[in-house]
Structure 1
Amino acid sequence: MRLLAAPDKFRGTLDANGVAEAIVTGAHRCGWNTTIRPLSDGGEGFGSVLGGTKVALTVAGPLGEPVVASFSMLTPTTAVLEMASAAGRHLLVAPQGDDPLRASTKGVGELINAAVRHGATSITVGCGGSATTDGGQGAVDEILARGDLTGVTLMVATDVTTTFLDAATTFASQKGANPRQVRALRERLSELADHYLERTGIDVTSLPRSGAAGGLAGGLVTLGATLCSGFDVLADSVDLRSDVAASDLIVTGEGHLDATTLEGKTVWSLLEFVGPDLPILILCGQVEADVEEFVIKSRPGPTKVLSLSQLFGQDRSRHETTDVISDAVEFALHGDWLTQSSSTMP
């Protein structure tokens, strides 16, 4: 029997590689053969999962302070970068470091320019984990100040389908914005969309995924970028379909199973990718009950969701994440749910 360990990161505790290794440890205790395939939906960890040769440089951080960011060269002409490397919320001083009105993607533009100077003619930008809601203006202005992207194929890999103006109303509060600031950010995005339309003829407000990373995705579209699912980009790159075909069980997971999971995050994208019948175990730090119920009812095949916090407590789940993931896998593999359909599971 072969188990495919195909998780995303548990933000703040383990990257996708670490989660996959912990899953494998638990599976080996139960005698399963394993395949490791850490995943990403375009958010943090996207570049590291794809690999390549890392190129580091100093760019402007989300609030203008210098930060060391990086992109990776997959081939001499193909680059991948994570916008969070230059403009991620993790770069801010917690817990009072948010400044949602001032946060800028300027450093992302610097990263893209640097990749072009390094010889990249194809660049994929992973959008997720941002501190920004500037509609990509910082990045766009920085790129245009150095020229343009003529001769460069730019792909924007997103983990949500949110449209441009909804970047403020849906996500700005998660970046520290109060209700007044959320309204101001939406108004600013609306004005910026009008500017983009006047300059390029592109109406970014109508494009699914244009609101990713606080509208950065939409801004890059005005420079010729194509928007796509980050999960799909990764699945194609690593030939995930072959891994799935060779597996009897998939174990996946992410830090939180909540409403945003259904917007195109790794777990939901993987469920749609593998089809209805292959058994799937989903491990999450925290689980919203209504989303769990929806996920389980969405597929007839054996599907089990485990909340690490519920099983082991929040403190142990956060501070001993590797161990509790391994223990959770062992616990699940000793159950009889693998032989049951979702409709007959308790």
Structure 2
Amino acid sequence: MEGFGASSPKLVNVRVLVAPDKFKGTASAAEATAALIAGLQALGHEAIACPLADGGEGLLDVLGGANRTTTVTGPLGDPVQAEWRLDGRSAVIEMARASGLELIGGAEQNDPVAASTYGTGELLAAALDAGAKKILVGLGGSATTDGGLGALRALEPVHRLRGVELNVACDVGIRFVEAAQVFAPQKGATPAQVKLLQGRLERLVQVYENDYGVQVADLVGGGAAGGLAGGLACLGASLLSGFDLVADFLGLDELIESVDLVVTGEGFLDAESFDGKVVGGVTDLSHRLGVAVVAVVGEAFDAAQSLVPTVSLVEQFGRDRAMSDTLACLREVAQVAVEQSSSQRVNESDS
């Protein structure tokens, strides 16, 4: 494309914070960040790396990476090697590493009724055995809709969690009883299986109230990861915004205040991107702090582009190349992103 090789004199020395989520299926958050930074630096701009996650897949990487591996039971019963992190007495776990859909090859290979979070419970037990007193569990990418029952069974006796701070990073706000209807079809469930899973969750509401004294039916966020969030809430877990947790840990507000432009992004931009997700969180924070922000995305849907200036790889390069050569596209599109921000600042100064 024309114009990628030279930057306008007005745009020299722009200081940029690069803070995307993953481009699911084509690039991790770290890979996307590195590609965007390479493009920006080639144009003479200063760039700061800050790959992000919203509490789901990628949380472990942005919080320091794995340094432990434990063999646990996968979602359909096969053993899997699940990585996690222990730093002193603090542990970080991604449920997708133990009970994730990708572990079994996607929705087509899943048995949505049989899929269990037992392995996630085993991973939590491993953290407890290692002496963890503070555990953060990232939800997202699950194969399961078992309401967390498998995890709770693996953790028995649950009094082991006494004196342990258990936090759950959620990226969705659905209620416990909504988990089957909203997300089970994405995990391969047929309409009949969705109905079965829905009934199972409704029965678990009463079981959990009887056994733990916790009412999970209308718990906001309790439906995350097929109800695992609600199950862990029965053990005293706090359900927290995954994006807010990551932003606080990384000092994101201070980083944004230190730059002229923020470039965020993800694979698919739609209305859900502004409901507890990375792009929406970064956009809101940048607006509050008065810093220009641009989203570089694989593809944009709905009216999402009206909420943040957007550069779409599909529009710039076509779908085939955007999907097959994502990192090269991200490197090349850096100039367009900076030009978008320049137009944004000019428009704001004229208003």
Q: TM-score, normalised by structure 1?
A: 0.92
Larger mean CA deviation between 137-146 and 40-49 belongs to 137-146
Runs of 4+ in structure 1 over 3 Å off: 145-148, 340-345
User: What secondary structure sits across from 2:208 in the alignment?
Assistant: helix
Q: Which residue of 2 aligns with 1:178?
A: 190
| Partner of residue 281 from structure 1, selected from 287, 294, 303 | 294
Q: Which residue of 2 aligns with 1:78?
A: 90
Q: 1:153 to 1:96 in 2, by over 3 A?
A: same
- Checking the alignment, whether the CA contact within 8 Å between 2:147 and 2:227 is kept in structure 1 is yes
Q: Which residue of 1 aligns with 2:332?
A: 327
- Checking the alignment, whether the CA contact within 8 Å between 1:29 and 1:330 is kept in structure 2 is no
- Checking the alignment, whether the CA contact within 8 Å between 1:30 and 1:333 is kept in structure 2 is no
| Partner of residue 323 from structure 2, selected from 318, 322, 325 | 318
Deviation at 1:92, TM superposition (A): 1.3
Q: 1:208 to 1:95 in 2, by over 3 A?
A: closer
Q: Which residue of 2 aligns with 1:117?
A: 129
CA–CA distance in 2 between the matches of 1:196 and 1:153? 20
Q: Which residue of 2 aligns with 1:220?
A: 232
Larger mean CA deviation between 310-319 and 103-112 belongs to 310-319
Deviation at 1:146, TM superposition (A): 6.9
Deviation at 1:171, TM superposition (A): 1.1
- Checking the alignment, whether the CA contact within 8 Å between 2:143 and 2:187 is kept in structure 1 is yes
CA–CA distance in 1 between the matches of 2:126 and 2:158? 11
CA–CA distance in 1 between the matches of 2:88 and 2:238? 21
Q: Summarize the alignment of residues 254-269 of structure 1 with structure 2, pairs less than 5 Å apart.
A: 254-269=266-281
1:339 is aligned to 2:351: no
CA–CA distance in 1 between the matches of 2:107 and 2:242? 29
Name the % identity: 42
Query: How many residues align structurally?
Result: 336
User: What secondary structure sits across from 1:7 in the alignment?
Assistant: coil
1:27 is aligned to 2:40: yes
Q: Which amino acid aligns with 2:343?
A: W
Q: Cα deviations across residues 13-57 of structure 1 (Å, max 9, x unaligned)? A: 111111111111121132211111111101111011101551101
Q: Which residue of 2 aligns with 1:38?
A: 51
CA-based RMSD of the aligned residues comes to 1.9
Q: Which amino acid aligns with 1:156?
A: V
Larger mean CA deviation between 140-149 and 54-63 belongs to 140-149
| Partner of residue 143 from structure 1, selected from 148, 155, 161 | 155
- Checking the alignment, whether the CA contact within 8 Å between 2:262 and 2:286 is kept in structure 1 is no
Q: 1:342 to 1:76 in 2, by over 3 A?
A: same
User: What secondary structure sits across from 2:156 in the alignment?
Assistant: helix
Q: Cα deviations across residues 199-251 of structure 1 (Å, max 9, x unaligned)? A: 12211122211111111011000011000011111111111111011011000
Q: 1:340 to 1:68 in 2, by over 3 A?
A: same
Deviation at 1:104, TM superposition (A): 0.6
Q: 1:289 to 1:329 in 2, by over 3 A?
A: farther
CA–CA distance in 1 between the matches of 2:122 and 2:228? 14
Q: TM-score, normalised by structure 2?
A: 0.91
- Checking the alignment, whether the CA contact within 8 Å between 2:271 and 2:302 is kept in structure 1 is no
User: What secondary structure sits across from 1:252 in the alignment?
Assistant: strand
Q: 1:59 to 1:317 in 2, by over 3 A?
A: same
User: What secondary structure sits across from 2:138 in the alignment?
Assistant: strand
CA–CA distance in 1 between the matches of 2:323 and 2:176? 34
Q: Which residue of 2 aligns with 1:301?
A: none
Q: 1:324 to 1:98 in 2, by over 3 A?
A: same
CA–CA distance in 2 between the matches of 1:80 and 1:196? 25
CA–CA distance in 2 between the matches of 1:106 and 1:171? 19
CA–CA distance in 1 between the matches of 2:300 and 2:231? 33
Structure 1 portions without partners, runs of 5+: 297-303
CA–CA distance in 2 between the matches of 1:330 and 1:143? 51
- Checking the alignment, whether the CA contact within 8 Å between 2:263 and 2:337 is kept in structure 1 is no
CA–CA distance in 2 between the matches of 1:95 and 1:41? 22
Larger mean CA deviation between 309-318 and 238-247 belongs to 309-318
